[in-house]
Structure 1
Amino acid sequence: MFLNETSIGTTAFSIALIDSSPALVVGAEHLFECFHSLVTAAAPIFDPEGRSVGAIGLIGLLPQYSPQILGMVVAAAKAIENQLQAELIIREANARASELNVTLDTISEGLLVLTAQGIVTHLNERGGALLGLKPSAVKGRPLTEYLILPETLARAISRNEELSDAGVSFVINGTAHEFLVDLRIIRGHDGGSVTSIITLRRIEQVHQLVTRLVGAQARLTLDDMVGHGPSVGHMRRQVLAAANAKGCVLLSGEPGTSKNAVARAIHNSGRRAGGPFLALNCRAIPRELILGEFLGFEAGAFNAGPSTGQPSKFELADGGTLYLDEVEMLPLEVQSALARVIETGEVIRLGGNRIISVDVRVIASTETDLEPRVAENTFNASLFYRLSTFVIKLLPLRERPEDITPLVEHLLERLSLQAGRPIHIGKAALDVLYRYPWPGNITELESVLERAALHCEEKTIQVNHLPESVRQQCAKTPGRPVTEPVRRLAEMEKQAIIISVRASRGNLSMAARLLGIGRTTLWRKMKEAGMSKKDLKKVSVS
């Protein structure tokens, strides 16, 4: 039926549609005489955005007219509008829920949401894969029909306590699987209903995270060991041998002799290069916390400690390398525990009884001679013998002056990149560096050059740019021949270039790598030594 004004004249319907307002037309108020015996009432209907989408009304005989008829029509229109609003809200909520589900399914962590009664309200795809469950099958069902929550997690949920990075073990199809979980408690508006949101990560994911976090620092390899003297060549061979071995490694040397860098080179040159490299400074960990740091602990292991558990450093380094700097600083009880883990390949966290198998290579470093300490019973003998499977002694810089020049050049190349300008060193300043005894070794050399570069506004570091303490120490040092070592060094460099080019069959990039320097540096040294490319070709085939 057409109820517009063109079709049937003036009625409550046509007025409601045109004016977008309720209307009541009685008897002769209608335009056409055929409607004079009727009464019409109508009200417009608006969608949630306020647009008129139609009208609803009543038609009755005039004798049955009641003043309440218009109110009834307006109420009916409002009810329809409320229903339209509710349907829009439901559609939008479903759209948001779909977007949320897609988002939750794309995250790398497992997500499990439980009601206070343990009913699963959400399980994302990753969570289903981790727990061996089908999300669509468990939704709306009690989780206990499929698996049992670990005691630590179940206890925390029952107490409405939150957890962060708690180590738990789920038994899935009869096999225990280790996870790190976070638990967040959300209370309803009424304060009574509680929702538990659980996120899960496999321990292996944490291993990968450790690898990424330290990866940029752990990429040091044999190529990064600067110097071409006999001591550096010997150390390179030792590092390669240690990398291919399976036992522990003990690095011995004074502070600043790059023990950390050597440990990383061993890690990256062996079969564990793809695994985590976790470094710990044993001096830096408080004595009262160190055992828990090494062995980890279960939730509630300490009365005054955190309510969540913590994996051991061996678990975090599983499949990779655990580097212990200044191992001599470990308390004896920790030394004993460390020796036991190295021997058995198993860890039991403090406060727990689960045996956790680990595959970790331990590299330790020391600044002291450990053998006398073993004799004095101040260092665990079992640990010493296990760490001493492969020992590498790093010489102090004062005992390998032939490496000062390549080290200085290497460090200045890096400083030049940082400063955005070329930085060189004058011969007189280099002579001072040769005279200095370097008690802080390479670390001190790096610091001295950084300070000198800051004071040098030109391209070349001169004696006056060096720290005063270095200049004063050299003034007190009996005159050690400078020009003679420099001359001998130049001859040694030339001989090293010849040997490297011969070994690499004329490949200059490979020769530079063998020397531990850049190709540009090799070309410069060749020029300084008066060696042409033609000469090198003759050498390469000799």
Structure 2
Amino acid sequence: MLVRQICNKRCVVIEEDAVVASALKKLEAAAIPMAPVLDEQQKIRGVVSLEVLRGAAANRLLANTPVAGVMSEDFLSISDDASLDSLWELPTYYLVVMDSQAMPWSIVTKDQIGGSLFRSIKKRADQLENVLEFAHNGIIGINKEGVVTVYNRAAEEIIWRKKKDALGRHLSQVIIPQGLLDILETGEVQLAHKFTVEYANHIRTYMTHRTPIFANGEIIGAVGVFQDISEIEAISNELNSVKQLNEELRTIIDASYDGILVADAEGVVHRVNGAFERVMGIDAKDILDQPLDKAVDNISTTIVAAVTTSKKRQSTVVERAGSQLLLTGNPVLDKKEELTRVVINVRDLTELNELRSQLEQSEELTRRYHSELNELRNQLMEEKGIVVHSAKMKKVLDLVLRVAQVDSTVLLLGESGVGKEIVAKVIHANSKREQGPFIKVNCGAIPENLLESELFGYEPGAFTGASRDGKLGLFELAHNGTLLLDEIGDLPLSLQVKLLRAIQDREIYRVGGQQPRLINVRIVAATNQNLEEMRQKGEFREDLYFRLNVIPINIPPLRERKEEIVPLVKKFKNHFCEVYGLERQLSPEVTDCFWHYDWPGNIRELENIIERLVVTSRFQTITVEELPEHLQVKGRNGSPGLNLSGIMPLKDAMLELEKQLLSQALKEYGSTYKAAQALGVNQSTIVRKINRIKDEFGIDLNVNS
């Protein structure tokens, strides 16, 4: 502010020889508080105020004296463009303001300057206060003791503390964190410091700038400016998510083995992946941001045009550089169903066609191998007299033939009479040891005191009654062959340790012998007992169990593979008729009884029953009356056979037979798929016949697919 701005009007001048009374009248007439006193040369001699003149005029002795006697010589002459700030530093009380002609214009005092400066400073302070109060960012100021001196309205909203509760308090009682206190100690500026505040289950993020306040080189306080950046953080996080998704999308597109090109509705290329460059033989930088008709060729252009017109997927197969390519264009529509992008997918069918050809060749080989396997299975059944008609036994036989090729220990599990010994012989006959011996020992049929010498042999004179030449054990007799340990569950615990050592070390010690004897024997163990349960009860050694249970093969009982009952009956009947020179036939009712019987003794029981019937029957045709009582009861309580009371059309009889077969197969196997396998037909045939039975008989067999 300049001094001329506080001068109200031009002052009057007083001659130094003028008396006090006349000078007083002149000032009162001009209504000014003071005036300069000039000498004869019009130079300023001093300053006289209205107050001084009034005081002197009141004194009759001074009223008619010259003003020079009461004037003040404590003054300075100043220019009218001098600033108030500079004048405040001057030592004199009266300041005479001179105009451009160096004539007195006005007089100001130190009091006037101070008042003007105070009002100016107060105005600026009020403006600053308003700026701070209405600033969008929160502002907190503290003095060097850490007491809050500045606290605006935005700070209230950020810190959730009223201004009246913050001003005059130590910062530690107002806000956390208290990093602003650290500024008082370090004097360093902290910019862009981020922190979060949680209040009433709301979390807000703020950015703060902390700055020290210096005066005369010393820290007198600090100010912190807070900005709520929660929305910015949310936008930033969303932007980062979009960037991440975009990067993932780019990575996925680039990782695609198929070529991908993205164009807009006008056909301008926006993105291609590396596979597109490879398949089409085009560099991406040559086609990006270029129209398709100029960048690629008519092939892609045609696809884009077709998709743009139809807004539907379009595909075509073309030949390019000796390769067969499948081009597929997919439209990308916005919410208004307007086309925004066209995505072209290019797939090289050349390699796919080669893979298809290889797959067809592989399937052909699989069919050939499957046919050869079936032929081998049939040949094996013919040679060994094995009857395999059920799906379960076919799986068992397939596993047996695969296992036979290696020397792994096999554990045959199944009820008594299911044919474990026959399976063991099949394993031996189809192994690399087929030229070697096949030795069987029933561990439950030999007394415990003799079993050790039977298995491992003995040296001459090993015990009383021993042969003077000693004896070979079954392990030695089975050297280079197969040893079947039947009923392994009956092996005494005392011998289980020696058997384990023989299997692990491939050597044995004869009874009474000191030298080990090397053996090369494949072990096949068999049992109708639950070895797992015996192991848990401590009745069978755990280490031996795991050594034997390398390849377990479960042989299903005859009641679970009834498809083999009739073929087995035929086989046994023919065999015993040939052995005994007899001719016998079984009535259909007998076969039906066999079908519905559970056969707890399995194949062995069936074989014994057939032999008994062939030998004891008095007639050529064996009837139900000749069957044992338990077989007759089971047959009558089972599902009835096809009983005819008279002549009926063959078509109806066949339909009745189909109904019974399907009902039995579905009941036993639970699904049309498994029933179809058991009956040797396609699943679709089973479903068709079920529907026919429902139409003809009104019977819903109600099965799963």
TM-score by length of 1: 0.48
**Which of the pair has the greater relative contact order for Cα pairs under 8 Å at 6+ separation?**
1
